[in-house]
Amino acid sequence: MTEFTPLASAFGGALIGLSAVMLLALNGRIAGISGISVGVLPPWGERLANGDMAWRIAFLVGLLAAPILVQAVSGEPIAQTVSTNVGLMVVAGLVTGFGAVYGGGCTSGHGVCGMSRLSMRSIIGTMTFMATAFVTLFVMRHVVGG
């Protein structure tokens, strides 16, 4: 069980939205995490030369710094329960990463930014990954019983 947290969740969601709006207003960029991160992976091509790299790395460093900041301000450890099944997590990582990039976006790119632009491509993408995520969870918990 996890506690239902509508207020904290809506507030956190609004911060995610604020970040997406600021990134578009200032840098003219979409806050899609898979798109931002895949841009720092090789092959780099002209990204290095045309200055398309530094803001991406800075954004990802900001993501990494966030839990440290929250922990420092709240003075409490961040609640997190992660599977300790290493094999499962390696497979999950490979499939998540490949799918997000091959499908042109993840929860942030298609889900938040694309749906907010009323992009039909992103709406279909989001419905597709939500559907397979629900089915996967159902199979893992209620059929396989992991």
Partner 1 sequence: MKTVVGFICGLIFGVGLVVSGMSNPAKVLNFLDLAGTWDPSLAFVMGGAVLVTFIGYRLVLNQPAPVMSEVFHLPQKKDIDGQLLTGAALFGVGWGLGGFCPGPAFTAVPLMSTGIIAFFPALLIGMWAGRMAPGIIAARA
Three-state secondary-structure class, residue 138: helix
Q: Which two tokens stand for residue 41?
A: 């992976």
**Contact (CB, 8 A) for 104 and 119:** no
Binder to partner 1 among 72, 76, 83, 145 (CB under 8 A)? 83
Count residues contacting partner 1 (CB under 8 A)?
Answer: 115
Binder to partner 1 among 2, 72, 76, 145 (CB under 8 A)? 2
Smallest gap from residue 49 Cβ to partner 1 (A): 14
Binder to partner 1 among 49, 72, 103, 145 (CB under 8 A)? 103
Q: Using the rule CB under 8 A, is 144 a contact of partner 1?
A: no
Binder to partner 1 among 48, 49, 50, 126 (CB under 8 A)? 126
Amino acid at 8: A
Give the count of beta carbons closer than 10 Å to the beta carbon of residue 31. Answer: 20
**CA angle (129 as vertex; 128, 134 as ends), nearest 5:** 105
48 vs 137, beta carbon nearer partner 1? 137
What residues have CB less than 8 Å from 99, skipping those under 6 apart?
A: 129
| Contacting partner 1 within 19-78 (CB under 8 A) | 19-31, 33-34, 37-38, 41-43, 51, 54-70, 78
Binder to partner 1 among 49, 50, 76, 102 (CB under 8 A)? 102
Dist. CA 1–CA 109, nearest whole Å: 29
Length of the chain: 146
Binder to partner 1 among 49, 72, 75, 120 (CB under 8 A)? 120
Give the count of beta carbons closer than 10 Å to the beta carbon of residue 144. Answer: 8
Smallest gap from residue 75 Cβ to partner 1 (A): 14
